[in-house]
């Protein structure tokens, strides 16, 4: 079964769950445990989870026990995605790019060149009106957004140095299972290869792939410098992570606990923004300190790449009106932020 068909199956499961919500009985008391899963560790996703747990303890006391499971302890990304759709995992924190198979509207955050800086990401995801919209955007799939988190700029790790755009041609590069990562890489000659994070290191070591797209905090947290030392700063997008909670589980909680979850999630996402920005800088330093190299294309090649990526991105979503509508909603917030 392909990754896309697997995601389609999970999307269908999510739709079934969502349709059952209207008929779900009201429970008298909340579940006592809320599992938070993620594929990463010691990054801004993990930090959000820790801050969220502290906020929940303060707001909800012992009504809910929050348990944190980073570094794919509850399974690879497809399994965690399925878990939050089915409710076997209460919440899952992940870059939006990994769940585009659940709902294509997640692609709105991945269009190349959309965000120019971390501050622009924050201006959108922390905009009160947009944030309210985002929280309930995917309820028809049975999930609610309780955390919207700035993650990091996009880089490319490779076993051999890539200092010119032509050097990407022919490389097998691990991407997220998102058309807005896969199609741009095809445009510059790479062979996009979606893989779970847990599968990347052995594939790099065996030569099954030549590189991967990721943020620097992930590369340092998992010590990828022991496997491949070269990073090319593509900087064509900024990752946005989200914490998704199973809506049926959320609705089974008391009104007080629901409000605590919503308030704790938003407090945590704003609290970790500066930490996340600083962590990118710390990660860059750690990469260099451990023998890694950071390469950049010439200004001319970077401009050429971004123009090609923008065209590919526009074409990738052109026939998806729901995605275009979300993309344009994000653009409207950005235009107001930029004073346009």
Give the domain CATH number at 308: 3.40.190.170
Mean pLDDT throughout 195-204? 92
Considering the domain architecture, whether residues 162 and 40 belong to the same structural domain is answered as: no
Considering the domain architecture, whether residues 51 and 137 belong to the same structural domain is answered as: yes
Task: Check residue 27 and report its DSSP letter.
Answer: P
Mean pLDDT throughout 330-340? 96
Give the domain extent around 22: 3-151+239-279
Give the tens place of pLDDT for each residue, 250-305: 999 999 999 999 999 999 999 999 999 999 999 999 999 999 999 999 999 999 99
- Paired residues of 172 in beta bridges: 191
Strands 211-214 and 155-158: antiparallel
- State the residue for tokens 């499971």: 69
Q: What pLDDT was estimated at residue 31?
A: 52
Cα dihedral 116, 269, 155, 331 sign: negative
Task: Check residue 25 and report its DSSP letter.
Answer: P
Give the tens place of pLDDT for each residue, 94-131: 999 999 999 999 999 999 999 999 999 999 999 999 99
Q: Is the pLDDT of residue 7 over 50?
A: no
Give the tens place of pLDDT for each residue, 37-61: 999 999 999 999 999 999 999 999 9
- Paired residues of 157 in beta bridges: 212, 231
- State the residue for tokens 């820790």: 50
Q: Which of 279, 309, 330 is the last residue of a domain?
A: 279
Burial class (CB in 10 A: 0-12, 13-18, 19+), 69: middle
d(CA 310, CA 316): 10
Q: Which of 228, 247, 279 is the last residue of a domain?
A: 279
Q: Which two tokens stand for residue 191?
A: 């062979």
Considering the domain architecture, whether residues 106 and 230 belong to the same structural domain is answered as: no
Considering the domain architecture, whether residues 80 and 65 belong to the same structural domain is answered as: yes
SS3 content of the chain, % helix, strand, coil (to 5): 55, 15, 30
- CB environment 78-90: b (16+ within 10 A), e (fewer): bbbbbbbbbbebb
Considering the domain architecture, whether residues 301 and 266 belong to the same structural domain is answered as: no
The torsion angle over the Cα atoms of residues 249, 91, 242 and 186, rounded to 10 degrees, is -110
Task: Count other C-beta atoms under 10 Å from residue 117's C-beta.
Answer: 12
pLDDT, the chain, mean? 92
CA atoms within 13 A on the CB side of 216: 27
Domain count, the chain: 2
Considering the domain architecture, whether residues 133 and 256 belong to the same structural domain is answered as: yes
Considering the domain architecture, whether residues 205 and 288 belong to the same structural domain is answered as: yes
Considering the domain architecture, whether residues 37 and 94 belong to the same structural domain is answered as: yes
Q: Is the pLDDT of residue 26 over 70?
A: no
Burial class (CB in 10 A: 0-12, 13-18, 19+), 166: exposed
- Residue pair 275/47 in contact by the 8 Å Cβ criterion: yes
Q: What pLDDT was estimated at residue 16?
A: 45
Burial class (CB in 10 A: 0-12, 13-18, 19+), 298: exposed
Considering the domain architecture, whether residues 122 and 185 belong to the same structural domain is answered as: no
Beta-carbon contacts of 45 under 8 Å, excluding residues fewer than 6 positions away, are 38, 70, 93, 94, 149, 151, 241
Backbone angles phi, psi at 158, to 5 degrees: -140, 155
d(CA 120, CA 331): 10
Considering the domain architecture, whether residues 93 and 35 belong to the same structural domain is answered as: yes
Give the three-state DSSP class for 79: helix
d(CA 138, CA 145): 8
Considering the domain architecture, whether residues 248 and 117 belong to the same structural domain is answered as: yes
Q: What pLDDT was estimated at residue 3?
A: 40
Considering the domain architecture, whether residues 91 and 218 belong to the same structural domain is answered as: no
Mean pLDDT throughout 300-317? 97
């Amino acid at each position: 079964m392909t990754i896309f068909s697997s995601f389609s199956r999970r999307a269908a499961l999510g739709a079934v769950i969502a349709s059952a919500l209207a008929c779900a009985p009201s429970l008298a008391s909340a579940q006592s445990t809320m599992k938070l899963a993620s594929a990463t560790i010691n990054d801004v996703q993990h930090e959000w989870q820790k801050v969220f747990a502290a906020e929940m303890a303060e707001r909800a006391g012992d009504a809910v026990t929050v348990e944190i499971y980073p570094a794919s302890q509850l399974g690879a990304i497809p399994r965690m995605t399925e878990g939050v759709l089915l409710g076997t995992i209460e919440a899952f924190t992940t870059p939006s790019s990994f769940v585009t198979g659940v709902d294509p509207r997640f692609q709105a955050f991945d269009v190349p060149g959309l965000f120019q800086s971390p501050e622009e990401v924050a201006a959108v995801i922390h905009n009160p009106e947009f944030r309210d919209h985002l929280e309930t955007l995917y309820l028809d799939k049975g999930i609610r957004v309780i955390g919207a988190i700035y993650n990091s700029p996009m880089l490319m790790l490779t076993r051999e140095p890539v200092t010119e755009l032509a050097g990407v041609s022919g490389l097998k590069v691990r991407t997220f299972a998102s058309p807005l990562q896969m199609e741009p890489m095809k445009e510059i000659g790479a062979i996009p290869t979606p893989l779970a994070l847990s599968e990347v290191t052995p594939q790099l070591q065996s030569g099954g792939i030549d590189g991967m797209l990721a943020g620097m905090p992930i590369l340092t947290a998992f010590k990828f410098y022991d496997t491949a030392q070269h990073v090319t700063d593509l900087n064509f997008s900024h990752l946005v992570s989200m914490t998704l909670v199973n809506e049926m589980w959320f609705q089974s909680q008391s009104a007080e606990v629901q409000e605590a979850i919503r308030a704790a999630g938003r407090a945590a996402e704003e609290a970790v923004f500066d930490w996340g920005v600083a962590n990118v800088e710390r990660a860059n330093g750690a990469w260099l300190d451990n023998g890694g190299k950071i390469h950049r294309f010439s200004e001319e090649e970077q401009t050429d790449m971004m123009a090609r990526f923008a065209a590919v991105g526009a074409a990738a979503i052109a026939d998806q009106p729901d995605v275009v509508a979300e993309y344009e909603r994000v653009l409207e917030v950005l235009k107001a932020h930029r004073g346009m």
